Every structure is written in structure tokens, then in C-alpha cells.
């Protein structure tokens, strides 16, 4: 039941995001103001400020058994990560996400891989001074059984290093 609710939510959000892409934000805000009395950014912030909803999207993006749901969740997270109106309001708990992906009962390669991909989505917001997070990523890059997981972890570490390098 929870998975189908989250799928419906992801579908609804994706349809709204694409609608914004086809019209100007002002047109969409005007429509919402007339029909609901809210501006879209405020509505999204209100919806996303519910930590449990954002965490549910992260959870299905990493752990859901249906690959299409994982991909839909990851695409939604990418859209949120690239939208300056929302990204700074989101609580990025990277260490918890990657530990959950590698420790919980479903210790499958796809779950570990998804955990790294979700972290990569928020690479600019990761706490790069968090030694435990970096240690976990290096461990995945060096010791994981799956080549895709090792490659994704190595790519994420490279992205973090590029962001830290002075230009």
C-alpha cells in the first residue's frame, strides 16, 4: 500500500514538473493562485518540508523492489536537486542513506548501487568533512562484490574531489 501511494505521489509530482516545463513558472503560479491560493514553490516547500515524504522518495529510490519505481524516484530526486527553490530546504542524511543501503536485510547489489546513485544526485550538498561517509564510500569503491557499485562509488568520490579542488 505504501509503495503504491508513493508511486502515485511520484507520478503526480512528475506531471507537475513537466507542466512547469511547458509553461512559464509565472503562468503556473497564476493558475495555482487562482485555483488553490498557493504559489507552486510554496506548495512544494510545504509538501517537501514533510521530512517523511522526502524520506519516502529517497527510500523507494534506493530500496523498492520494482526497478521502474526506483528510476522514477531517482529522476524526481534529480529534478529536486537541480531546483534552487527546494534543494536547500531538503535534509540530506547521506551517511544514514548509504549505511541503510549496505546494512539492512536486503543487502543486494542493486540496493547498494541505488544508494550511491542517490548520494551522487546530491553531491554538491554532501558533508565532505564527514569522515565516516567518505570511509564508507572508499570501502564500497575498494571492497564491494559488484563492479557497478564499485564504479559508482569511485565516480562519486571523484566528483567530491573535483568539487573540493581549488580552481
Percent of the chain residues past pLDDT 70, beyond the cut = 61
Question: How far apart, in whole angstroms, are the C-alpha atoms of residue 135 and residue 156?
Answer: 13
Grid-cell match 523492489, residue found: 65
Question: How far apart, in whole angstroms, are the C-alpha atoms of residue 41 and residue 27?
Answer: 13
pLDDT above 80 (res 25): no
Question: What is the model's pLDDT at position 6?
Answer: 55
- Pick 34 or 67 by higher pLDDT: 67
pLDDT tens by residue, 113-145 = 999 999 999 988 888 888 999 999 999 999 999
Question: How far apart, in whole angstroms, are the C-alpha atoms of residue 87 and residue 45?
Answer: 10
* CB contact at 8 A, 85 and 53: no
Of the listed ranges 14-18, 19-23, 103-107, 133-137, the least confidently predicted one is 19-23
- Pick 26 or 104 by higher pLDDT: 104
User: Which of 44-71 are b and which e, b meaning 16 or more Cβ less than 10 Å from the residue's Cβ?
Assistant: beeebeeeeebebbbbbbbbbeeeebbe
Question: How far apart, in whole angstroms, are the C-alpha atoms of residue 43 and residue 71?
Answer: 24
CA distances from 62 to 3, 31, 66, 72, 110 (A): 13, 34, 10, 11, 8
Confidence of residue 57 (pLDDT cuts 50, 70, 90): confident
Return all residues near 29 (Cβ < 8 A) that are at least 6 apart: 39, 40, 41
* Nearest C-alpha neighbor of 63 from the set 115, 16, 120: 115
Confidence of residue 103 (pLDDT cuts 50, 70, 90): confident
For residues 105-118, give the mean pLDDT: 87
* Nearest C-alpha neighbor of 97 from the set 69, 125, 72, 75: 125
- Pick 150 or 12 by higher pLDDT: 150
Helix extents (H) in 37-82:
40-49, 51-63, 67-81
For residues 19-41, give the mean pLDDT: 47
Amino acid at each position: 500500500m505504501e509503495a503504491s501511494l508513493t508511486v502515485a505521489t511520484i507520478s503526480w509530482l512528475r506531471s507537475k514538473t513537466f507542466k512547469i516545463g511547458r509553461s512559464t513558472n509565472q503562468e503556473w503560479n497564476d493558475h495555482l493562485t487562482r485555483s488553490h491560493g498557493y504559489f507552486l514553490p510554496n506548495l512544494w516547500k510545504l509538501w517537501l518540508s514533510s521530512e517523511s515524504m522526502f524520506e519516502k522518495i529517497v527510500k523507494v529510490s534506493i530500496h523498492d523492489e520494482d526497478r521502474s519505481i526506483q528510476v522514477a524516484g531517482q529522476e524526481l530526486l534529480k529534478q529536486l536537486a537541480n531546483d534552487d527553490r527546494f534543494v536547500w530546504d531538503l535534509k540530506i542524511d547521506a551517511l544514514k542513506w548509504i549505511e541503510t543501503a549496505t546494512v539492512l536485510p536486503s543487502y543486494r547489489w542493486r540496493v547498494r548501487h541505488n544508494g550511491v546513485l542517490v548520494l551522487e544526485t546530491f553531491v554538491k550538498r554532501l558533508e565532505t568533512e564527514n569522515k565516516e561517509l567518505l570511509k564508507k564510500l572508499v570501502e564500497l569503491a575498494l571492497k564491494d562484490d559488484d563492479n557497478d557499485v564499485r564504479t559508482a562509488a569511485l565516480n562519486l568520490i571523484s566528483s567530491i574531489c573535483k568539487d573540493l579542488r581549488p580552481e
